[in-house]
Amino acid sequence: MSTLQPKHQRLVLGGLAAVLLIVAALVAAWALRSEASYFYLPGQMLSDPPEPGRNVRLGGMVREGSLDTEADGVTVTFLVDDGADATGQAVPVRYAGILPDLFVEGSGVVADGRLAADGTFVAETLLAKHDENYVPRELEEMTAAQARAVVADTETAPAQSANVP
């Protein structure tokens, strides 16, 4: 038999639930802190760099003429700037792996990786951004009429499926 009155038992249970909820929130915050990836522009990374080894994202433009492939054929280095001034500050990036199809000098890129102690951003993944004039290879090989038919099919397909009971 419990010596606590029902009113006090509810108070103890409520207190335990609050403590468990706070502990769960702290564990979730700690886990997200180690997995969160902050996004930096080149100017931000140069003026207020993240601590070396912290996982961050760098987004900007690949500077024209800066792309260099090393002797191993897999590792590339290039500069990422904000695209406004080609003579301005840029972050040196090093990446070892297969480059995305759309990755070219002068295009947008988002690199996920870590800033090394020497100021070089070591990318683990690269995402190439394309401009508004991008056309998929499949559509390039089609005639204009075929491309319009494919686009029309893709635009009407969700409407047809919405009518299905």
Q: Return binding residues for heme.
A: 130, 134
**Cα 148–chain centre separation:** 32
Q: What six digits make up the tokens of 20?
A: 């468990």
Numbered residues of the known binding site: 130, 134
Cα–Cα distance between 117 and 134 in angstroms, integer?
A: 37
The DSSP call for residue 88 is S
Q: Find all residues with CB under 8 Å of 72, minimum gap 6, and list them.
A: 96
Torsion of CA 81, 85, 88, 93, to 10 degrees: 20
Residue 47: how many CB atoms within 10 A of its CB?
10
* CA count, 13 A, side-chain hemisphere, 146: 6
